[in-house]
Amino acid sequence: MHWYEFKEYLSKITDLDQDALHVYAAVLLHIAAAGLLRRTLASIIPWLAVLAVLVLNEWSDLREPGGPIEEWQVIGGLKDIWNTMAIPTILLLLGRYSPWLVTDRGNYPSPEGSRSR
């Protein structure tokens, strides 16, 4: 079974289109890469792992038909990259710049105008 056929099979058995599968796979891969690499989601390394797998997947999709690469395939690939990297990017940015939103560790921002007495 070729990679593309496997993705079609997953789409059929889960009743999800491939765009949705991309998003779910990216989130799972981001979390798995962070755990395996012993990094937090605030680290760029797990995010880059997701991007690398995504680029390989899109390259495979472009090569699948065997003919010349069409403009619609490139546009579709760019859309896939945008959709797939959205949540890992949000998690990366939250982990880096607003860790108090996802954990009870770290520095909480003090409410504006509050004074300790």
Q: Helix/strand/coil (H, E, C) string of 74-91?
A: HHHHHHHHHHHHHHHHHH
Report, as an integer, the average pLDDT of 53-78.
80
Confidence of residue 117 (pLDDT cuts 50, 70, 90): very low
Residue with more model confidence, 51 or 65:
51
> Would you tell me how many other CB atoms lie within 10 Å of the CB of residue 75?
10
Q: Which residues contact 18 (CB under 8 A, 6 or more apart)?
A: 7, 11
Cβ neighbours of residue 2 closer than 8 Å, sequence gap 6 or more: 64
- For 100, which DSSP code? G
Per-chain mean pLDDT for the chain: 84
Is the model's pLDDT at 10 over the cut of 80?
yes
Reported as a single tens digit per residue, the pLDDT across 86-114 is 999 999 999 998 888 877 665 656 556 54
pTM of the predicted model as reported, rounded to 2 decimal places: 0.78
